[in-house]
Every structure is written in structure tokens, then in C-alpha cells.
Amino acid sequence: MKKSALQVARAAYQPKLPQALQGPVKAVAGAATQSVGNQEEIKAMFPNTYGMPVITFEAGEAQAVEPFGVGIILSGGQAPGGHNVISGLYDGVKSLNPQCKLYGFLMGPGGLVDHKYVEFTDEFINEYRNTGGFDIIGSGRTKLEKEAQFESGIQILRELGIKALVIIGGDDSNTNACVLAEYYAAKNYGVQVIGCPKTIDGDLKNEQIETSFGFDTACKTYSELIGNIQRDCNSARKYWHFIKLMGRSASHIALECALQTQPNACLISEEVEQKEMSLDDVVTYLAQIVADRAASGDNFGTVLIPEGLIEFIPAIKKLIAELNEVLTDPATGESREFAGAEEQIAFVKGNIAPENLAILNSLPADVARQLCLDRDPHGNVQVSLIETEKLLSRMVATKLAQWKQEGKYAGKFSAQHHFFGYEGRCAAPSNYDADYCYSLGYNASRLIAAGKTGYMSIIKNTTAPAAQWIAGGVPITMMMNMERRNGAMKPVIRKALVELDGAPFRYFAAHREEWAKTTSYVYPGPIQYWGPSEVCDQCTKTLSLEQN
């Protein structure tokens, strides 16, 4: 593999570890846990993995460990730092016994089911240390939820002598990991399952998980791009830039990028929902900011938009909920099949409530069409395909034209559009993510050695220097509740939304009026890997504000 100069230099970086993981450890158990909701239902569904204690690792005595095999799966969308989770796990199991083996299943959970794998070696793993991407073994979105899949998996796990499987993924992937852990425990198969919290969207976090890996790097990457656009915007002074950012289920990325760059406007989906804003309310809010800046002679600006915004507008949210029901076959729980798009749209319009049909018909034709069409593997609207940034700028232009006719607006409005998504998913990890991910992987090896299953690898206190980080594990069932998916109630890890009474949003809310009126742009610049700690090793502003 040909390497860039940066990659060659970056390969020499040795990620930092918490003090507790720098030698032998002992697992200290806390109190018994319960799920965040629907306790009786979750307990009944996970009798073998429910109620386990939170684990914290402390320095312990060295013990002889027999060699064992570990399998690893990358599941779902890419996130910076995945390769470091794998290298941390590799180094961790080798430190327990050099004869231990690590296998990677190719292209996600499907590799386990289809028995496609690779064995890691020193030479192989060293090519990927501190690099972005998931290309070391690839990723996929196959859902592990059927007994036939579990049984196919156990065949290859036994053949390779694998005693533990580590699944790196987001909330849906780790829900599947918990289901798999419960199945293998119930069958007494002797295979442990450990999860690692991955998603750049930042919505896999709670009182035990401070942040999901990749969020730091992705937000810094997007903020660099936003800063570049704002500098261009402030130079040309003639465009409004509407920038859509990743974040279907929560607005963490948009909020973090706003904290880093100070745009003129940033929409927070959770606030839109709480205030029960209509699409017209959102458009009017943005149009007023444009008009106010024009009155000061500034016919330019930047607007940040979370990709899932449209799902949080209450009327449209109700519409989408019914669309999901209508498009699910109640007999199978799978998506209905149609001969073509027109047949599907006609079916939808003939089977939804009149009030929702009225909302659907009020939307621009291209948006309405997208809402009626295919879902992702988890039954969700593919909101990334809806060009929300263009929809909003188009509606703002219409609103401003109306105000101009009424004599309420005399400025100029010209829009540019951007969607930052894939640009951040495989960036070379920041020092924070490089250290955090390596620690998550190394820590997973200690959870395996301690005989744990159904646990998520966690690293806490990450606003402190890495040596002071706290390593341990949390039962995945602790994060679960029951939610309606594809027409049925299912156990899932509860997504973390932006908390409107939380410190990051309150800081943003206290400053956004000033940012709207003035040109207060911040230009973060590219991620730095070498230099002063205050430049290179800082966590996100979100985490810093949350942890004071």
C-alpha cells in the first residue's frame, strides 16, 4: 500500500492509554443496573444479560492467560478511528498472550454469516494504525437478528476457536450485538459479545458513554469546511450558503459545528419539535435573519441545517410515522414490495389519513416523492436524499420575494448549497479520536479476559489527560427501551438527542442572536496532529461544556 508523507509520519504515533490499562487489571463491579425504560419487557427479553453491574478496571495482579481467538466486525457507516479500535484490540489481546489471534469478518455482519474473514498479523495491522476509514476489513449494514444467522455465525466462530466477538457500531448495531450476546448465552455456546460505541452523529451517548467515537474528527473536519466557506462568504459578500450536515436522528453535529464556527443561523431539530414549528415557521425564522442582515448592508451569510430536520417538524413527523406503518407489511414486518415508484406513491396516497395526505400534498413534489419511497434497512426515511438545504433556500427566496412586494425587504438574496456527509466519515482521526478509539479497543480485550458478555466498552473522564481516563464496561441492556420499528415494538438502544436544557445548547442559544446580526465567523482550520496540546489534543466543545 502506497502511503502519503502524513500517513508515514502518523503511523509512528503511539496512542495514549488510561493508566489503569497500562498493566494488569482487575474488574471492580458496581451496583446492579436496569434498562432506561420498559424494564419488565427488556428483562423478560434478555434474562441472561439483564441487570449486570457496571464494570470499572483498576490496576491488578498479572495472571496467566491461555491463548484464545477474537473476532471483530465493523457495522454500519464509517467513522474516524475504527482502525484504531482494531489495533487497540489487537495489541490488547496480544499483551494477554502473544498466541492469541484476532480475526476480522469482511464487509460487516454479513462476513460472519457468510464465513468471510481475514486473520490479522503485525505486518497487516501496522498498515492501518492511526488512519481513517474502515477499509481494513470493510463495513456493512446486514442486521443480525435471525436465528439462522446466529447459528451460521457460531459455526465459523467454533471453527476458528473464537471465544469473543467485538462489534463496532452505532445504536442499532449494538442492539443487534446485545441480541446476539443473549442468544449465545441462552444456548450456553461459550461465546462472548462486546460492543464499541461508534457513530459520527453523536447520538450514542448517555451517563456512561461520554461520546461516540468519530464525532470529534467528523465535526472538526466539517468545521474546517464551514470555516473555509465562511471566509469565502465574508470575502465575496454576495451569497447565502445553506449547509446541510449529517445527523438524521439528532442535531449534535450541527450544534457542535455552530459552536466551532459561529454561523449566522443554525437550526436544531429538537428545538423545532419542542416549539412545534411548522415548515413555514422555520422558513420565516431564516428569512427574518436574511432581511435583518440585508438592512445592515450584509447580503450574505451561512445557515447550518441538520439532515434530519424535516422529520422533527411535528406535522411532517406524524406523516412520516404513518408512512412507515403503511409501507410495512404487517404479516412479515418487512417493507412492502411494489412494481415501481408510481405504484408505491399511489398506494401511499390511497392509504393514509386525510390530514396527513393534505400535509403530503402541500410539500414540494420532489420532497413528497422522496418521503413516499424506499426506507433504509432499519425502516427509516432516507432523509439524506432529501435536499433540505435547497428546499429551505427556495422557500426563503419565495418568502423574501413576497416581503419585497409588500415593501418589507429591499436586499438581495442568492443562495449556494452544500451537503457535508461523506467528507467527514473517513478522515484521519484527530489525536482525541486516535487515543479514545485505541483505548476502547484495548479495553475490550480486558472485558473479554474478564469473561464479560453483553457489555459495551467504555472510556470516561475524557476531558482530562489520557492517563486519567477511566476504563470499564456497561451492560448494553442498561441503555435499552422499547420503540416502534417497522410496525412492531422492538428493543433498541435509546438515541441521545440534543438536550435543550444542556450546557452546549444553552451556550449556543445565548449567543445565536449576536451571531445572526454580526459577522462573527470563526475559521477553525484543518485538524492538527503535532504541536501545542491546546491545539492538537482538545475534545469537542460539546464535551467540554458538558463536563465543565
Half-sphere exposure of 55 (CA within 13 A, CB side): 26
What the block records as the C-alpha cell of 189 is: 455456546
Rounded-to-integer distance, Cα 155 and Cα 243, Å: 47
What the block records as the C-alpha cell of 257 is: 459545528
Catalytic residue among 201, 203, 216, 433, which?
Answer: 201
> E strands of 75-170, at which residues?
101-105, 117-119, 162-169
231: left (phi over 0), alpha (psi -120 to 50) or beta: alpha
Tell me the sheet residues that pair with 266.
Answer: 304
**Gap between the terminal Cα atoms of the chain:** 43
List, as one string, the DSSP characters of 405-417.
Answer: HTTS------EEE
Rounded-to-integer distance, Cα 159 and Cα 166, Å: 17
Nearest to 254 by CA among 200, 205, 204: 200
Distances (CA, A) of 347 to 163, 321, 354, 356: 48, 16, 14, 14
Q: Which residue has the cell 459552536?
A: 259
In the chain, the amino acid numbered 129 is R
Relative to beta strand 25-29, strand 55-59 is: antiparallel
Rounded-to-integer distance, Cα 311 and Cα 317, Å: 5
> E strands of 99-204, at which residues?
101-105, 117-119, 162-169, 192-197
Task: Specify whether the CB–CB gap between 130 and 83 falls below 8 A.
Answer: yes
In the chain, the amino acid numbered 485 is R
Angle between helices 341-349 and 365-372 (to 10 degrees): 90
In the chain, the amino acid numbered 71 is G
Task: Specify whether the CB–CB gap between 305 and 389 falls below 8 A.
Answer: yes
Tell me the sheet residues that pair with 260.
Answer: none
Nearest to 78 by CA among 224, 247, 159, 199: 199
Rounded-to-integer distance, Cα 305 and Cα 474, Å: 33
Relative to beta strand 162-169, strand 192-197 is: parallel
Rounded-to-integer distance, Cα 67 and Cα 96, Å: 8
For Cα atoms 372, 374, 378, give the angle at the middle one, nearest 5 degrees.
Answer: 120
280 is catalytic: no
Nearest to 12 by CA among 131, 102, 133, 93: 131
Tell me the sheet residues that pair with 417.
Answer: 242
Enzyme catalytic residues? 201
